[in-house]
Amino acid sequence: MWISEDCIGNFAIIFLSGVDTCATKSGNKDFMSSCNVRERLLDVAGPVFSEKGFEKATVREICQKADVNVASINYYFGDKEQLYLEVIRLAKQMGVSRAPLPEWTSDTSAEQKLRDWVTTLVRRMLGTGELSWSNHLIMREVLRPTKACEHLIQELFRPFVNIADSILQEILGEEIPEYRRMQCVFSIAAQCQFYRVSAGMVTLMLGQKEKAAHYNNDQLIEHILQFSLAAIKNLKQEFATSVMESSASLHGS
Amino acid sequence: MWISEDCIGNFAIIFLSGVDTCATKSGNKDFMSSCNVRERLLDVAGPVFSEKGFEKATVREICQKADVNVASINYYFGDKEQLYLEVIRLAKQMGVSRAPLPEWTSDTSAEQKLRDWVTTLVRRMLGTGELSWSNHLIMREVLRPTKACEHLIQELFRPFVNIADSILQEILGEEIPEYRRMQCVFSIAAQCQFYRVSAGMVTLMLGQKEKAAHYNNDQLIEHILQFSLAAIKNLKQEFATSVMESSASLHGS
DNA sequence: GTTGATTTTAAACGCTTGTTTAATACAATT
DNA sequence: AATTGTATTAAACAAGCGTTTAAAATCAAC
Residue B130 vs residue A19, higher pLDDT:
B130
Q: Which of B132, B109, B56 is nearest to B229 (CA)?
A: B109
Is B34's pLDDT higher than 70? no
- Concatenating the DSSP letter of every residue in B56-119 gives H--HHHHHHHHTS-TTHHHHHHSSHHHHHHHHHHHHHHHHHHHSPPPP--TT--HHHHHHHHHH
Whether A235 and B228 lie within 8 Å, measured CB to CB: no
CA distance, residue A230 to nearest chain B CA (Å)? 5
Give, as one character, the DSSP assignment of residue B19: T
Interface residue of A51, A149, A191, A239 to substitute, partner B, most B CBs within 10 Å = A191
* Residue B57 CB partners (closer than 8 Å, separation 6+): B45, B48, B49, B51
Query: Does at least one atom of strand D sit less than 7 Å from the CB of A114?
Result: no
Residues B193 and A197: beta-carbon distance below 8 Å: yes
Q: Which of B187, B122, B113, B116 is nearest to A229 (CA)?
A: B187
**Helix or strand or coil: residue A18?**
coil
Query: In angstroms, how far is D7 C1' from B200 CA?
Result: 44
Whether A143 and B194 lie within 8 Å, measured CB to CB: no
Is A171's pLDDT higher than 90? yes
B36-79 pLDDT per residue, tens: 889 999 999 999 999 999 999 999 999 999 999 999 999 999 99
Count of A-B CB contacts under 8 Å = 140
Query: In angstroms, how far is C13 C1' from B241 CA?
Result: 74
A48-77 pLDDT per residue, tens: 999 999 999 999 999 999 999 999 999 999
Which range of B29-33, B111-115, B244-248 scores highest in mean pLDDT? It is B111-115
**Cα B246 to Cα B243: distance, rounded to the nearest angstrom:** 5
Q: What is the mean pLDDT of residues A233-247?
A: 79
Residue A205: how many other CB atoms lie within 10 Å:
17
Is A8's pLDDT higher than 80? no
Interface residue of B201, B214, B222 to substitute, partner A, most A CBs within 10 Å = B201
**Cα A42 to Cα A87: distance, rounded to the nearest angstrom:** 6
Is B13's pLDDT higher than 50? no
CA distance, residue B169 to nearest chain A CA (Å)? 16
Residues B164 and B110: beta-carbon distance below 8 Å: no
Is A43's pLDDT higher than 60? yes
